[in-house]
Amino acid sequence: AQRVTQPEKLLSVFKGAPVELKCNYSYSGSPELFWYVQYSRQRLQLLLRHISRESIKGFTADLNKGETSFHLKKPFAQEEDSAMYYCALSAQGGSEKLVFGKGTKLTVNP
């Protein structure tokens, strides 16, 4: 079964500090992994996909198959990064399910 765990419900950092939002997954096959962000009063939107190996708004995420992790990182947090972040997984070669973690609320303090 596919499962996504985000161990931190809340994360608070100061502006300019590095930030890491943790995501661990459980899936026996090859996963497709995603990070989503929801800013206040906005719809949930895709932030980045591991397959694209992209950096969006200064955020990056690396898939670590050994540790089954896909942590989201940014070297210097900005106040506008304050939002709810969700990690999600789909099963490559499996069903079309897209399963989400419970989310981490990031607050960047001035």
Q: Pick the piece of the chain touching another protein (CB under 8 A) from 15-23, 43-51, 55-63, 73-81.
A: 43-51
Tokens matching residue 47: 């932030």
Q: Which is nearer to another protein, 89 or 108 (CB)?
A: 89
CA distances from 28 to 32, 36, 72, 79 (A): 12, 23, 22, 37
When asked if residue 100 is in the footprint of another protein (CB under 8 A), the reply is yes
Span interacting with another protein, options 12-20, 46-54, 55-63, 64-72, rule CB under 8 A? 46-54
Among residues 58, 61, 55, the alpha carbon closest in space to that of 31 is found at 61
Q: How far apart are CA 100 and CA 57, in angstroms?
A: 21
Binding footprint of another protein on the chain (CB under 8 A): 6, 9, 32, 34, 36, 43-46, 49, 51, 86, 88, 90-92, 94-103
